[in-house]
Structure 1
């Protein structure tokens, strides 16, 4: 009986941990146009992460910043987030050209109509990234 109880406790802990991890991740949209539509519906801003597969700083951003609890909370509360690779997507290539992207990562913040509010080239650690998110929200008046 003791072994069965131990397995139940371990299983419950694993489920709670998995639910917590899932709840703490950025909700990414996969399509730019869908992100704009969703932003209009939910009255949110849009964050476009322009990245490439070979970019080390992009991977560090994914690993260290987009997993930070404060960053995740701020993004999910105020933004529709979308990742775009200009080397794999015609939309990404068009956006990179339109916004003058010359290096990666390059984060572009837009209102729900697609108007640029701020552009953040390069990597920022989580605390500095949170400051950028707060500033964009203030600037947008949300």
Structure 2
């Protein structure tokens, strides 16, 4: 089995040409042109929370399930949008969670997830900044993420101005 998998991966890498094949945490394969920005999804909630804290970046959390048509549309359209992918890569930590495999019911209840897909945006200190229930188009999500980045920059600027000068 491993031999077949290796040969399959080798064949894929030889035949894909200018396309890079990215393997996500749950075996999803997504073809993305090598020069296009792509979203790097963290492998686990723990990894995402740690990176979010260490890099002081907000978290984009996409919660999906199997058999969800709108989830599939977001994977194929929304998250492949070059402008959105670039903004996420530059300013956010990204985490994709499969609701049926990656987390338990209590985890979903804690974030009041009742619809799929659900997209949650957290500040670096884990405060829920926004949520989208259902499908979100790339333009709408990009616009909101950009607003959050601008808001954070303004808050940092005000905080720096109000800091007393060192003596």
TM-score, length-scaled by structure 2: 0.68
Write the deviation string for residues 79-136 of structure 1: whole angstroms up to 9, x where unpaired.
1100112211235x33321121110110011122322111111112211121121123
CA distance in 1, matches of 2:46, 2:83: 26
Do residues 111 (structure 1) and 123 (structure 2) align? yes
| Contact preservation (8 Å) 2:81, 2:138 | yes
How far apart, CA to CA, are the structure 1 residues paired with 2:114 and 2:152? 25
> 1:10-51, CA deviations, whole angstroms, 9 ceiling, x for partnerless residues?
x9xx34x54972452101001111101111222211111011
CA offset at residue 137 of structure 1?
2.3
SS across alignment from 2:101? coil
In 2, Cα distance between the equivalents of 1:95 and 1:74? 27
Counterpart residue number, 2:84: 71
Aligned to 1:120, which of 132, 135, 149? 132
5+ residue gaps, structure 2, are 1-13, 22-31, 157-167
State the superposition RMSD in angstroms: 2.2
Unaligned runs of 5+ in 1: 1-10
Mapped contact 1:48–1:109 kept (Cα < 8 A): yes
Indicate the structure with greater helix content: 1
Match of 1:100 among 99, 107, 112: 112
Q: Give the conservation status (yes or no) of the 8 Å contact 1:109–1:136.
A: no
Alignment partner, residue 43 of structure 1 = 56
**TM-score, normalised relative to structure 1:** 0.79
Query: Hey, what's the Cα distance between the residues in 1 that align with 2:142 and 2:103?
Result: 30
Q: How many residues align?
A: 128
